[in-house]
Structure 1
Amino acid sequence: MAGRARIDISLDAELVVEVMVLAGVASPQDAVEAVVRDYIARGHRTEARVQAQDEPRRTPDPLVQPPQG
C-alpha cells in the first residue's frame, strides 16, 4: 500500500486477538483492516438496499390510476 496515508492507533490486545481469531488471520494489522473493510462494505450494501427500496416510491406506477371522484 505504498503512497497511502497511514494512521497508528492503540487497541486493547484482547480485542485484537479476538478479531484475529474470528477473521482467521495472523497479523493484528490485517485483522483490524479486515474488520474496517467489512464495516465499510456493509454500509455500502445497506445504502444500496435502502435506495432500492425507496426507488419504487419515487417512481409512480403508470398502471395505477389515482382515485377519481
Structure 2
Amino acid sequence: MAKVNISLDAELVVEAMVLSGIGSPQDAIEVVVRDYIARGHRTEARTELRDQGLREADAKPQEPQG
C-alpha cells in the first residue's frame, strides 16, 4: 500500500492519541481515519436498505381511491 506524509496540528494529533488510547501518533491517526471510513460504510449500508424498501413500496400498485 502506498504511504502519504501529511502535516497535522500537534493538538489534534494528541487529542486523537488520548481518545484512541494509542501512544503512537501515526497509529492513532490511522485508527481514527479507519473508524471514520468504516462508519461511513455502515451508514451507506443502512440507508441503502431503507431506500430499497421505500422504492419497493413505491413500486407496488396502489388501490383505487374514491
TM bin (shorter chain):
0.7 to 0.9
Q: Tell me the residue number matched to 1:26.
A: 23
User: Aligned equivalents of 1:57 and 1:49: distance in 2?
Assistant: 13
Residue 63 of structure 2 is matched in structure 1 by 67
> Quick check: which one's helix share is greater?
2
Q: Deviations over 1:19-52 (max 9, x none)?
A: 1000000000001001110110011011001101
5+ residue gaps, structure 2, are none
| Count of matched residue pairs | 64
1:1-69 correspondence runs (5 A): 4-60=1-57, 66-68=62-64
Give the SS at the match of 2:17.
Answer: helix
Unaligned stretches of 5+ residues in structure 1: none
Over the matched positions of the two proteins, sequence identity in percent amounts to: 61
Larger displacement relative to structure 2 (49-58 or 29-38): 49-58
Q: CA RMSD in A?
A: 1.8
> What is the alpha-carbon distance in structure 1 between the residues aligned to residue 18 and residue 25 of structure 2?
10
